[in-house]
Structure formats: structure tokens, C-alpha cells
Amino acid sequence: MFGEFDDTGGAIKSDDAFDLLQDLEKNTSEEIRRQRAHFRLAIKASVTLQSGNASELLSMKVKGVTGDISAGGTSILFPIAPRVGDIYRLVFDREALDLPLTFARCVRCRLVREDAFEAGFSFFSPITLPESAMDAAESGS
């Protein structure tokens, strides 16, 4: 599908474009939930987002709040949009969610309202959710 470029300067061929659009139509929220590989835990915890590149570490520091988390990733609400495809370091509030510094790639971002963006992140290494968070989820608190 993404093999040879045609002579239109690298544009996607019309047959490929049609196939891609059909794939996009299948990406409903129910289908995305069905394809998830890990149990997701709904939890509210503060998280700080910084660049994953050491040379750019001080260039940005944004606070957000988690919506849910799993062994493979998390969704976080931010006041600005992170760039999809970029690598970030996530520092979770250890009192709310006792997790170490975690590196993740932003895999999606959507506008919720003018000052809120929901972003999805995929962790580079699976995490183990803390027992305290699992217990809180089971008890409903």
C-alpha cells in the first residue's frame, strides 16, 4: 500500500486513498475499545508532560490529569495539544498514582473544547499498575 511513490510527488494513489478512508470509517469508539489489549483503569491523577529528548527537557512543562490508564498506555487531558507522534516523559503524581518516570509516544489528540485536549499515549515499556490503584477501582472509590 505504501510501496513505490507515483509521479505525483509522493501523493497517495486513488485506490490506496479509498482503502485508507474505508479503514478510517471503521475506527468507531466501540471498535477502538474492542481492540484494546489491556484492562483500563479509570483514575484521576496529576501528570507532568515534558519532552522525551534530554536536550529539550526544559523547553516545555505542561500539567495534565489522567482519565484512564492501562499497562500499555494512558489518556490525559491537557490545556494545550501535545504533538501526535512525538515522544514524551510522563511524571505522575506519586501520591495519587505511584508510578516511576515513564516514556510514551503520543498516538492521538483531540480537541475537547477551546482550552482542553484529550491525548492518548502508548508506553514504550508496559507498566504494572499499583495495588492501591487497583483496590480503589474495585471498591469504587
SS3 79: coil
Query: Which residue in the block uniquely carries the three cell numbers 489518556?
Result: 75
Q: Rounded to an integer, what distance in angstroms lies between the CA atom of residue 126 and that of residue 141?
A: 25
Per-residue pLDDT reduced to its tens digit, 13-53? 666 767 766 666 666 656 555 544 456 788 899 999 999 98
Confidence of residue 129 (pLDDT cuts 50, 70, 90): confident
Domains and CATH numbers, the chain: 38-139 (2.40.10.220)
Cell digits for 133? 490503584
Q: Rounded to an integer, what distance in angstroms lies between the CA atom of residue 86 and that of residue 59?
A: 14
- In angstroms and rounded to an integer, the radius of gyration of the C-alpha atoms of the chain is 18
Per-residue pLDDT reduced to its tens digit, 58-100? 888 999 999 999 989 999 999 999 999 999 999 999 998 889 9
